[in-house]
Amino acid sequence: MRTTIKNGQIIDPSQSLNTQTDLHIEDDKIVAIGQAPDNFTADHEVDATNLWVLPGLVDLSVALREPGYTQKGTIASESFAAAAGGVTTLVCPPDTSPIIDTPSVAALIQDKALEAGRTNVLPIGALTKSLAGEQLSNMVALTEAGCIALSNHRQPMANTKVLFRALEYAATHDILVVFHPDETSLSVGGCVHEGMMSTMHGLAGIPETAETIALARDLILVQKTGVKAHFARLSCAKSVEMIADAKAQGMDVTADVALHNLLLTDDVLGSFDGHYHVIPPLRSEEDRLTLIEGLKSGIITAICSDHQPHEKMAKTAPFAATEPGMANVEALLPLSMLLVDEGDIPLPTLLHSLTKGPASCLGIDAGTLKVGSYADIILFDSTKKWTWSEQSKQTKGSNSPWLYNPMAEMPAGDLAGKVVATYLAGRQVFPLH
């Protein structure tokens, strides 16, 4: 099967490419950009005039909720939502039920993802059994079963010694460890950033130190053990400085940030709307701006949706009693484009942070349109206005402040820019014909 995507604006930061031309696909690979190869005759042509042709997005955190929490989402529903959002490779966290701490759970998720056929799914395995922070998981077996990395997710380790041993063992086998820095004795009970807004509204705060103290400890242990490390969902200005210092000392660590921490601050909390309950919390404007600077300077290499779908009732409660998390994967690109529209981040940096950047954190070959790569491609109409609504959405989650809800305090308006087609290894996975 040969396909030519004709006349699109091809933008690929991995090749510093931004040009209007054709892209040629044979079976599952990209075979040429511009001139077609000799003897190449397309079976199928796609007119991409006025559309952007981009590498498929790589999202470092999309909770699929299956197995265990299918009232919130399923592998089928959330991988479809991801494809609709232009994501062709996603990483799913180990906090399913059962937890991804055995090869069979990792295999089950990948089998169901293959069956759904919407997007590549790379599970993260648990660093310790049951994420309890006490006994090491079967790390090698988990990676052999397809886990791209291991993490104790947001659960604390029993003590620093167990963490140290876990990192030593992972380092022995060259396994990537994903950290969610959080000193739980400081964050316990908190639901928002500790600052003026938390004080004024009487909501229990999570201080910056909960993140930075854990990050300092983790960095020391990473340096000591030499383990491959990725720091997930940084939320504080100070954390960006600490990662910059570590890199300056020659440490080869990577970091990501959740999209909502780039778009929002804690000044949305005045309405007590549980949709803004996320962990780590929305922090101050200074934190937001420093995270943006961190992306621009390459200290932070990836933006992820941190997609956490919930059923309606999970958010129907007083603020602190709601379950944390937003479900934004389906609107990842148009929402990210707000950062370009506001002049916060240049377009190539933004696209890199959604494609090659996250791929390089994982050490995988994705997020690029280079000739010879898998044809994971999206077509994006950057000017199309559309409404993301209960009726049109694919995710089972209803928990995004940008999902149109006429009853909301401030109904979200139209989004600008829409993914009009997603190809996974040359096969169109969104929309389906």
Partner 1 sequence: MMRSEPRALQLNDQGQLKHFLTLDGLNKAILTEILDRADSFLNMGEQSVKKVPLLRGKTVVNLFFENSTRTRTTFELAAKRLSADVINLNIETSATSKGESLLDTLQNLEAMQSDMFIVRHSESGAPHFIAEHCTPNVAIINAGDGRHSHPTQAMLDMLTIRRHKGQFEGLKVAIVGDLLHSRVARSQLHALKTLGAEEIRLIGPKTLVPEFFAQMGARIFYDLEKGLNDVDVIIMLRLQKERMQGALLPSESEFYRLYGLTESSLSWAKEDAIVMHPGPINRGVEIASEVADGKHSVILNQVTNGIAVRMAILSITMSGQLQNKMTDSSGGQH
Under the rule (CB under 8 A), what is the footprint of partner 1?
A: 194-196, 198-204, 263-264, 267-268, 270-272, 274, 313, 316-321, 338, 342, 401, 409-410
Cα gap 196→266, rounded to integer Å? 9
* Phi-psi domain of 376 (left: phi exceeds 0; alpha: psi -120 through 50; beta: other): beta
Nearer to partner 1, 86 or 274 (CB): 274
Nearer to partner 1, 32 or 412 (CB): 412
Q: How far is the CB of 318 from partner 1 (least distance, A)?
A: 4
Nearer to partner 1, 71 or 271 (CB): 271
Nearer to partner 1, 56 or 325 (CB): 325
Nearer to partner 1, 77 or 305 (CB): 305
Cα gap 135→39, rounded to integer Å? 58
Nearer to partner 1, 158 or 200 (CB): 200
240 three-class SS = helix
Nearer to partner 1, 179 or 402 (CB): 402
| CA atoms 218, 223, 227, 229: torsion sign | positive
Catalytic status, residue 28: no
Query: Residues 23, 382, 393, 191: what is their CA dihedral angle, to the nearest 10 degrees?
Result: 120
Q: How far is the CB of 167 from partner 1 (least distance, A)?
A: 31
Q: How far is the CB of 109 from partner 1 (least distance, A)?
A: 31
Instruction: Identify the active-site residue in 22, 266, 306, 381.
Output: 306
Q: How far is the CB of 317 from partner 1 (least distance, A)?
A: 7
Sequence-distant (≥ 6) Cβ neighbours of residue 56 within 8 angstroms: 86, 87, 88, 89, 355, 366, 367, 376, 377, 378, 422, 423, 424
Cα gap 64→396, rounded to integer Å? 10
189 and 204 in contact (C-beta within 8 Å)?
A: yes
Cα 387–Cα 392–Cα 394 angle in degrees, nearest 5: 120
Count other C-beta atoms under 10 Å from residue 90's C-beta: 30
First-residue to last-residue Cα distance in the chain:
17
Give the ranges where 173-268 is alpha helix by DSSP (H): 184-187, 196-201, 208-225, 237-248, 259-263
H/E element, 20: strand 17-26
Q: How far is the CB of 402 from partner 1 (least distance, A)?
A: 8
Q: How far is the CB of 269 from partner 1 (least distance, A)?
A: 9
3-state helix, strand, coil in the chain (%, to 5): 35, 25, 40
259 three-class SS = helix
Q: How far is the CB of 287 from partner 1 (least distance, A)?
A: 14
H/E element, 107: helix 103-116
Burial 147-180 (b: 16+ CB within 10 A, else e): bbbbbbbbbbbeeeebbbebbebbbeeebbbbbb
Nearer to partner 1, 42 or 320 (CB): 320
Distances (CA, A) of 374 to 25, 86, 389: 9, 15, 32
Q: How far is the CB of 425 from partner 1 (least distance, A)?
A: 35
Q: Which two tokens stand for residue 126?
A: 């648990």
Q: Which sequence positions are flagged as catalytic?
A: 306
